[in-house]
Amino acid sequence: MNELTLIILAYLIGSVPTAVWVSKWFFNIDIRDYGSGNSGATNTFRILGSKWGSIVMLVDMLKGFLAVKLAFLLPFYVADEFARTNFQIGLGLCAVLGHIYPVWAQFRGGKGVATLFGLVLGISPWTAICCIGVFLLVLFLTRFVSLSSILASLAFPIFILVIFNVDNHAYRIFAVAVALLVILTHQKNISRLLRGSESKASIFKYRDRRKSRRSGDLG
């Protein structure tokens, strides 16, 4: 077992096309033929609903989490925390690359945000929990999965650089790069958000129905 073997394995783990397999096995469709055409959690929320969107998101996060934990298979990285963190960043990025370009799904994947969250969860759990908290809060308030992902990703470098002040230059650079990457990969979503045409996720239906009834009563 060496670094190259683990890097390849991390990519293969990331390549598991969760949304594609779920859509084909349970709905007899290819999720990439609908909505935004991506095979990620955001499009799954939009097309298949909150239940399956949540499942896809959790599994995609698990891919990033498992990828960074591969570093513990090598004794050198078990003993050296600083080197381990740097290697874990590389492993996690390979998993994200696999998610975006999955070998098991004709290299047509998603945007990798959930896998990035899993990567961070595996390296620094408290930072990940804070980012997930931002994600859930924005999702609850707006029902825009894309906006939730963008704001949670922008919060990531703030937590790393300011709040937790992580003393690892590679990780600090990585945090800033993640925020920039998410913005770049969500340009279409940002345009739709600005135009008011971005689709909302079909979650919190009870809350929305209750608000609708209240509006009707007031009217």
pLDDT in tens, 170-219: 899 999 999 998 898 889 889 999 999 988 876 655 455 555 445 444 44
Q: How confident is the model at residue 155 (pLDDT cuts 50, 70, 90)?
A: very high
User: Is residue 134 over pLDDT 50?
Assistant: yes
Decide: 135 and 152 in contact? Cβ < 8 Å.
yes
User: Considering only CA atoms, which of 54, 85, 55 is closest in space to residue 69?
Assistant: 85
Q: How confident is the model at residue 167 (pLDDT cuts 50, 70, 90)?
A: confident
- The structure tokens listed for 201 are 């996720």
Give, rounded to a whole angstrom, the gap between the first and last alpha carbons of the chain.
68
User: Is residue 136 over pLDDT 80?
Assistant: yes
CA dist 24 and 195 (Å) reads 32
Instruction: Give the model's pLDDT for residue 206.
Output: 47
- The structure tokens listed for 186 are 């969500």
- The structure tokens listed for 216 are 């009707």
Per-residue pLDDT, averaged over 12-18, amounts to 96
pLDDT over 70 percentage in the chain: 92
Instruction: Give the model's pLDDT for residue 25.
Output: 96
pLDDT higher at 203 or 105: 105
The predicted-structure confidence for 70-95, as pLDDT tens digits, reads as follows 999 999 999 898 999 999 999 999 99
Query: Would you list the domain boundaries of the chain?
Result: 3-206
Sequence-distant (6+) residues with CB within 8 A of 159 are: 127, 130, 131, 175
CA dist 89 and 94 (Å) reads 9
What is the DSSP track for 143-171? --HHHHHHHHHHHHHHIIIIIS----HHH
Instruction: Give the model's pLDDT for residue 145.
Output: 84
Cβ burial, residue 70 (10 Å; 0-12/13-18/19+): buried
